[in-house]
Structure 1
């Protein structure tokens, strides 16, 4: 099998993520192509789309959010993702056991003797009545089960019941608390009864491949998918480590020396988190930062295709903090692209500065 080095895998990933060249696609098409976008920080997907699309405006995604064409909820790896409504119907049943296991892993010791079936049933009933915050659910549980840890039980609802975070949270220019309702109720349609893992794997590879079985599992959170992947008849390569990499037949494979422009990424972008082997983007020893916040105010920076700096928006401008020395040309490119980001964020009069090194 052909061996693909880290730079070749880097360029393949950037091409498929539309980070080598911005795409002339709609926000709907891009969200669907990416099989969802990290959404813990509610406004992060706006920056993620801006850096990938040639003519994106935040109002486009805001309309999709308010129109329920896209939805935010716990999905891959048990983390909050923004996905197309139709994809949410498929993905949540597919990863439900992963999401549920995440709850017992985090809160198992605090649950005690509570009947989680009853907890889920009351949680669903409460959310079907009206969208509620976790604290409102907690108060209801404390009244129903005063002998148990109501706070721990309140978290169970999002994990055990397929839910959606409702607007105005996640809408550009608006604010609101994190409130939940049932996913099928928010979408007005039932969830898929027999979702196809094979279809999701192919879509993942089209946006993230070539990738190993471990990569597929790291992205989705699922386990024991090797037999499924190996039976799909995919084309194969080999990583420098010797691991087999799987791919769709039409997956983009630009050369390792194709130039990669500077790209600003938001918090938690899946290009940094979508593989078990993150060396195709992260330099040795570098971890993905996981800052708190609402999004669209900080993130990471790709230089020559790799994570080489962090950025943060503040009152006086945008500060870029490199992890090492940058060439003069790279700094100039960062300033130019940072200026475009500031304009997108509505801070076009601010300046791009360098901090740290």
Structure 2
């Protein structure tokens, strides 16, 4: 069976709750979409607004405050919100990547630290973080255990490696500027190849449920795990997976019975969050981003701008401005599409107004530097 590029696009939209908003609790929604990119604190809220019918941001506040959903460094070495029940397997699957990138970073080693030092320091640090502690207190604990000053880069590498959850620290998006941390309630097994292999297999199966069909390079892109590790994990799963052929003969893997909408299934416009996972979860970014727009959406430093999806594909960008939501198209759009975008933008403006009307204001410099837009409109729901 051959799967067309448009069918792959529609599969992603269906599994990511972007063809139709779902009447679903936020905890179940996060499990359905696997994980939410969360380095920008407002983005999980915007991501769920796009996916959940009548989304109530206070419900996400509650889920994060109660650690039903947790924020931690995971896939692609960035912050994600995942369900607490998924955290252990996901973290074990990411262990070799996190350990290699954090505890063997040249800056960490140049400061006089080794992986063995981190292993020795972690028990005391995790015990201390049995209740939420500020980053400053955690660094002091690390220095006391070390018996001397610890450079900022060392604390950064250890906190990103350690099985720590970010503790909510303030409005409007649960995580304010002052970071606090708490030890994961169920600790993952670290530095164990068997646990890592089993965890990666769980993570990749969940990835296929939420993003499939997908290739080995796609799975490696989503996790930042080496392709060799991904192939081994796929071999562990192979009896439970189905295969199809993608463009150019690419082998695609999937879970049996997962949604596979026809490529011509209608896709409503959406205003996607910064760093939304659908833009970053594939080696083939063309599944969602036309190649000619990629460099405008994913900037040289990794910033991934809030985008307009039209007919399932990136067609422009949006940002909050004084007075509403500014939507800018990379190519001409029909009057009907603009009308549909207006409805989404007005609803999003109303949603943001109650929390942070300028949620992405710090990224305005990308617009100042210039984007290849052909038409811009401002919509207000206030």
Give yes or no for contact 2:108–2:114 (8 Å, CA) kept in 1.
no
Distance 1:307 1:36 in 2: 21
Describe the shift of the 1:347–1:238 C-alpha distance in structure 2 as closer, same or farther (beyond 3 A): same
Farther off after superposition, 29-38 or 116-125: 116-125
- Tell me how far apart the structure 1 counterparts of residues 127 and 87 of structure 2 sit (CA, whole Å): 18
Q: 1:226 corresponds to which residue?
A: 231
Counterpart of 1:59 in structure 2 is 58
- Distance in 1, matches of 2:57 and 2:173, equals 6
Offset at 1:114?
Answer: 2.3
Which residue, 335, 347, 351 being the options, matches 1:340?
A: 347
Q: In structure 1, what is the Cα distance between the partners aligned to 2:38 and 2:277?
A: 10
Residue 180 (structure 2) pairs with residue 179 (structure 1): yes
The 5 A counterparts of 1:18-57 are 18-57=17-56
Which ranges in structure 2 are unaligned for 5 or more consecutive residues? 358-370, 375-382
Indicate yes or no: 2:263 matched with 1:256: yes
Normalising to structure 2: TM-score of the pair? 0.80
Instruction: From the superposition, tell whether residues 284 and 76 of structure 1 become closer, same or farther in structure 2 (CA, over 3 Å).
Output: same
**Corresponding residue for residue 152 of structure 1:** 153
The answer as to whether partners of 1:110 and 1:149 remain within 8 angstroms in 2 is no
- Does the 8 Å CA contact 1:38/1:81 hold for their aligned counterparts? yes
For 2:367, the equivalent position in structure 1 comes to none
Q: Contact 2:10 / 2:312 at 8 angstroms: preserved in 1?
A: yes
Instruction: Confirm whether residue 199 of structure 1 aligns to residue 202 of structure 2.
Output: yes
1:169 and 1:158, CA in 2 relative to 1: closer, same or farther beyond 3 A? farther
Q: Show the counterpart of 1:272.
A: 279
Question: TM-score, normalised to structure 1's length?
Answer: 0.86
Residue in 2 that maps onto 1:97 = 96
1:241-280 per-position Cα deviation (integer Å, ceiling 9, x unaligned): 2110011111111111111100111111111111111111
How many Å separate the matches in 1 of 2:13 and 2:175? Answer: 31
The whole-number CA distance in structure 2 between the counterparts of 1:266 and 1:339 is: 15
Distance, in Å, in 2 between the alignment partners of 1:146 and 1:258 is 62
Q: Distance in 1 between matches of 2:330 and 2:77?
A: 30
Q: Distance in 2 between matches of 1:318 and 1:29?
A: 29
In 2: Cα distance, 1:157 partner to 1:110 partner: 12
**Aligned residue pairs, count:** 344
The 3-state SS of whatever aligns with 1:241 is: helix
Q: What is the alpha-carbon root mean square deviation over aligned residues?
A: 3.0
Looking at structure 2, the residues matched to 111 and 136 of structure 1 have their Cα atoms a distance apart, in angstroms, of 24
Q: Deviations over 1:55-99 (max 9, x none)?
A: 210011111011111110011121111011111122112211111
Indicate how the Cα distance of structure 1 residues 315 and 248 shifts in structure 2: closer, same or farther if over 3 A, else same: same
Cα separation, 2, equivalents of 1:121 and 1:227: 30
Residue ranges of structure 1 left out of the alignment (5+ in a row): none
Verify the 8 A CA contact 1:123 1:137 in the aligned structure 2. Answer: no
